[in-house]
Chain A
Amino acid sequence: MNPELVIVGVLTSGIRLATPYLYAAIGETFGQRSGVLNLGVDGQMLLGAFAAFYVAFTTGNLWLGLLAAIIVGALMGLAMAFVTVNLQAVQGISGIGFYLFGLGMSELLFKMMLGTVETVKGFPIVSIPFLGDIPFVGKIFFQQNIMVYGAFLLVPLAWFILNKTTLGLKIRAVGENPEAADSLGVSVARIRYFTIILGGILSGLAGASMSIALLNVFQQNMTSGLGFIAVALVYFGAWRAWGVLAGALLFSFVNSIQLWMQVLNVPIPSEIAVMLPYILTIIVLVLTVSRVRPPSALTKPFDRGD
C-alpha cells in the first residue's frame, strides 16, 4: 500500500483519537495542579456525552448540545468539589464513586429517554482556509471538526493560564503549599472549586466530542474506560499541558498504528496489536525517566482549622 496514504491515515486517526483524551486530561491537569485527584473523569465524560447527544438529538442544535455537556460537567464538578473540598473526602475513592454514578446514571437516562441507539449529524469537518489546502499536512491537521481544533487549542491556553497568569500561580500555590497560599490570602477552597468545576466542564466536553463530533452516537459505557487513560496521561505529562499533549499523541498514534498494522496484515495476534499503545506508553515513560514530582498537596484535603 502507498506509504504516504498510511502515514496520512495514521496521523489523521491519531489526531482524532487524541481529542477526547486532551479535553479530559487537560481538565484533570488543572485539578491535580491544585491538589485534587479526580478519578471520576470517565463518569463525567459519559454524562457529558449523553447530555450533549440527547439535547442535540431532540433540538437538532449541536451548540445547545455542547452547552448541555458543559452544564452537566459543571454540575458533576460542583458535586465533586463539595465532597472533596468541604467534606474533605478521600479523593481517589470519591472519584470512583463519581465514576460509578456517572456510568450508571448515563445508562439509566439513555434507557429512559432514548431507549435505543440513535444517531445525530455531528459537527461537520471544517477545512481551514489556505491551511487545509496544504498537501499532506492540510489533510492531517486542518481538515477536522471543530471539537478537534478546540482540543488542540486548549493545550497552549492551559499552558498560558497555568504558567503566565496570576490565576495559574494561585492554582500551583494551592497544589504545592496550601497553608502558605492560605496565609497569603488565597482562598484554597475557591481555587479548588474553580479547578474541579473546570475539570468537570472539560470532561463533559470530552464526552461531547465523542457523542456529537467524532462518533455521533451514544451508547452505554461508550467511553469504555477512556477517562482512566486520560488520568494516566496527566501523570505521563508530569502535570504540564505540553506533556499531556505529548502523552495523548503518543498513545493515540500508537493506537492508530496498531489499527493500520491489522489492516496491512502484519502477522501478529490482534491482541498484541491492541496492547501496543499501553505497553509503549509505559516504556516511553521509563526511558525518559522523569524526576518531576507530583504537586505536594495532591490528594491532601486542606483544613483551615476553625
Chain B
Amino acid sequence: MRSKLDSFVDALLPVFATLAALGVGALMLLILRVNPGEAYGALWEGAFGSTNAIAETLVKSVPLLLVGLGICIAFRASVINIGAEGQMIIGGLMATQIGLVFTDLPGWMVIIMAIFAGFLGGAIWGGIPGALKAYFNVNEILSTVMMNAIAVQIMNYMLRGPMIDPAQLEKASKIPQTARLADAFRLPRLAPTRLHLGFVIAIALAILVYILLWRTTLGYRIRAVGQNPHASRYGGIRVRRRIVTALLLSGALAGIAGAIQVYGVNYRMITDGSSTGFTGGAGFNGIVAALFGQLHPIGTIPASIFFGALLVGANKMQRAVQIPSALIGALNGLVVIFVVSSEMWRNKRQKDRLSIESDVVNMGESPSDDPTSTPEEVLA
C-alpha cells in the first residue's frame, strides 16, 4: 500500500496542473493587456467570493456531476458516451411535458414523475446507441454524435410546435419555448440563493452509483466487461446486455440532469437552436469532470464542484475585466489538457508501487480497483 504522502501528492496533481494551465492563461491575459492578478481575483470572487457565488458554483456543478456519474458507468464498461448533450435534451423535454400535462397534481408528485421521465428519456437516448453497439456493431462515438444532432432538431421542433407556450402562439414573434412550470413544481431551494434540491439529489445519486458499481453484481459485471470482454464472456457474463445497460444508465443520469435543469433552474424549456443553449455544455464538461474525479462516482463530486467553480468564476472574470469570452473557452481547454497530461505522473508512480497488483488486473480475472470488494465477496 502506498503511503499517505504519496496519496496526497497524487491528489494534488490536478490542482498543480490547473495552476500550470492558469499560468499559461496569465501569459495570454498579459498579451491582452489585462492584469492577471485582477482577472484571477475576479475568477475566485465569482466562484467562491460570496454565499451567492458558492451557490452558483454548486448549481453549475449539478449537471456536471450527473452527467459525470453516467460517464463513470459507461467508461467502466469501456464505452465512451459523448451523447450526454442529446440525452439531457430528451430527458429535459420529457420531464417538462410531465409538468405541463399534470398541472393539477401536487408538486412533490410531479417532481418525482418528472425526474423519472427524465430518467426514461435519457435512458432511451442512451439505450439506442447501446443496443446499436451491442447488436449491430455500430460504434458509440458515431451514434452518440449523430443522436446529439437529432435531439437538437427534436427539441427545436417540439418547442416551436407541439410544446410551444400557448401564450406565444397569440403573439407575432413566437418564441420557441414551453409555458412556465407552475411554482409548486419547482425544486425547493436550499438557501436564499439559486441552490436547489437537485444538488442533494445529485450527491445521493453519486452514492447510489458508487454502491451500484462496487457493491452489486450488476456493477461487478459492468466493470468486468469493461476490463476484459472476452474473459467476461467465458465467465458467463452476457457482454452485450451489459453494454446496453451501461449506456442506458449513463444516458438516464444525463436525462435526470436535463430534468433537474428544467425543474431547478430554468422552469421551462427554451431553445436557441443549439444544444449548449439548454445544456450549458454539460454533456462535454461532465466527461471532463468525471475524468478529474478518476472515473469514480465519489471523486466526481469534488471534481464537478471544481469544474463548476472554474466555469462560474471564468464568467465573472470575463465580466470583470471585459475580455472576450472566447479566452475563457481556450483556458478551459488548457486546463483539461494539462490535467489529463498530469495523469502520467500519477500513473507512473502508481505503477511503480502496484506493479504486481496491476498485472492481476490486466489478466482480466478480477476488475478490482477497489481492494475492499473482491469478486468473491460480490458474487457470494
Binding site for B on A (CB under 8 A): 39, 43, 79, 83, 87-90, 92-94, 96-108, 110-112, 220, 225, 228-229, 231-233, 235-236, 269, 271-272, 274-275, 278-279, 281-282, 285-286, 289-292, 294
Contacts and interface: CB of A to CB of B under 8 A. Distances in A.
Interface stretch (B3-11, B143-151, B205-213, B370-378): B143-151
Contacts, number: 144
Given A236-B142, A286-B138, 20 more contacts: A92-B287, A93-B291, A96-B287, A97-B334, A97-B337, A100-B333, A111-B324, A220-B326, A232-B139, A233-B142, A235-B139, A271-B153, A272-B157, A274-B153, A275-B149, A278-B146, A279-B146, A281-B146, A282-B142, A294-B139
Nearest to A251: B146
A231 B334 contact: no
B327 interface: yes
A232 B141 CA distance: 6
Nearest to B155: A271
A140 B145 CA distance: 29
B344 interface: yes
Contacts of B182: none
B204 interface: no
Q: Which 4 A-B pairs have the closest CB atoms?
A: A104-B329, A101-B333, A104-B330, A97-B336
B48 interface: no
Contacts of B344: 87-89
A220 B330 CA distance: 13
B261 to A, nearest CB: 21
Contacts of A275: 149-150, 153-154
A190 to B, nearest CB: 19
Given A100-B332, A235-B139, A108 B327 contact: yes
A104 B287 contact: no
A83 B341 contact: yes
A229 B328 CA distance: 25
A29 B32 CA distance: 37
A105 B326 contact: yes
A124 B24 CA distance: 40
Contacts of A93: 287-288, 291, 336, 340
Contact of A107 (B143, B146, B157, B329): B329
Contacts of A111: 324, 326
A286 B330 contact: no
B20 to A, nearest CB: 13
Contacts of A225: 149
Nearest to B156: A271
A107 B154 CA distance: 29
B141 A97 contact: no
B137 A94 contact: no
Interface string B132-171: 1000111101110111011001101100010000000000
Interface of B: 32, 80, 82, 132, 136-139, 141-143, 145-147, 149-150, 153-154, 156-157, 161, 284, 287-288, 291, 324, 326-337, 340-341, 343-344, 347
Nearest to B128: A282
Contacts of B287: 92-93, 96
A100 B336 contact: yes
B132 A271 contact: no
A285 B330 contact: no
Nearest to B290: A93
Contacts of A79: 337
B284 A231 contact: no
Given A88-B347, A93-B291, A83 B336 contact: no
A89 B142 contact: no
Contacts of A285: 136, 138, 142
Contact of A282 (B80, B138, B154, B161): B138
Nearest to A224: B274
B145 A112 contact: no
Given A272-B157, A278-B149, A278-B150, A289 B137 contact: yes
A104 B132 contact: no
Contacts of A236: 142
Contacts of A39: 82
A90 B291 contact: yes
A282 B343 contact: no
B329 A83 contact: no
9 contacts: A87-B341, A89-B344, A90-B291, A103-B333, A108-B324, A108-B327, A228-B145, A271-B157, A278-B149
A225 B201 CA distance: 32
A96 B138 contact: no
Contacts of A106: 326
B308 to A, nearest CB: 16
A98 B150 contact: no
Contacts of B291: 90, 93
A275 B326 CA distance: 29
A97 B343 contact: no
Contacts of B137: 289-292
The CB with the most chain B CB atoms within 10 A, among A97, A111, A271, A285, is that of: A97
Nearest to B345: A87
Contacts of A102: 333
Contacts of B284: 96, 100
Contacts of A294: 139
A105 B336 CA distance: 14
Contacts of A220: 326
A147 B249 CA distance: 44
A29 to B, nearest CB: 13
B326 A107 contact: yes
A254 to B, nearest CB: 12
Contacts of B343: 87-90
Given A111-B324, A285-B138, A271 B154 contact: yes
Contacts of B156: 271
B138 A98 contact: no
A231 B145 CA distance: 9
B349 to A, nearest CB: 13
Contacts of A112: 32, 324
A267 to B, nearest CB: 14
